[in-house]
Copies of this chain bind each other. A is one copy, B any other.
Amino acid sequence: MSINKVILVGNLGKDPELRYTPSGVAVATFSLATSERYKDKSGEQQEKTEWHNIVAWRQLAEICGKYLHKGKQIYIEGKIQTRKYQDRDGNDRYITEIVADQMQMLGGRGDEGSSGGGGYGRQSSAAPRGDQRPAAGGGQKREPSRDDFEEPPFNPDDDIPF
């Protein structure tokens, strides 16, 4: 009964960090800058930069770790999530992050060495093959199969029944 959706287009502040949970699940984190220009009261153009903490899991994490780098312009779709943690003094702290479920590289053609292309996330079986994961328990990754294609733009074997 609810929607929690974030859409960002911005640039990476640093290269992503790719880590693995104890059970071998890939997690990529990076910060993404979005900048807003606005006129202040005196009519001056001002710019304000917002930094977003992005988190990607599993296959999307590995794609981020492999293809993204500092300065790259990307599109991110995901959801907002606030996580509680304890600081050094044991006090509760909260951090708000964007959990990505789609990522697209933008800014095209030979832009800084990115081979780029495609959109990544969810079902997307367009993802690069070959498992970059280190030895790890893993398990959650399911095997792609022949039937595993995406929502078809059209279905050559089927007559559209309307």
Contact = CB atoms under 8 A, between A and B. Distances in A.
Nearest to A137: B157
Listed residue (A3, A104, A118, A162) with the most chain B CB atoms within 10 angstroms of its CB: A3
A131 interface: no
Contacts of A64: none
A48 to B, nearest CB: 5
A1 B158 contact: no
Q: How large is the interface on A (under 10, 10 to 19, 20 to 34, 35 or more residues)?
A: 35 or more
Interface in A21-40: 21-23, 25, 27, 29, 33-40
A160 B36 contact: no
Contact of A142 (B9, B11, B122, B148): B148
Contact of A73 (B25, B41, B106): B106
A4 interface: yes
A27 B151 CA distance: 12
24 contacts: A1-B73, A1-B118, A2-B104, A4-B8, A4-B10, A4-B34, A5-B6, A5-B8, A6-B6, A6-B80, A20-B161, A22-B158, A38-B126, A38-B152, A39-B125, A39-B149, A40-B149, A57-B151, A73-B107, A80-B80, A80-B96, A101-B151, A123-B123, A139-B147
Interface of A: 1-11, 17, 19-23, 25, 27, 29, 33-41, 43, 45, 48, 50-52, 57-58, 73, 75, 77, 79-83, 96, 98-99, 101, 104-108, 111, 116-119, 122-123, 125-126, 139-142, 145-162
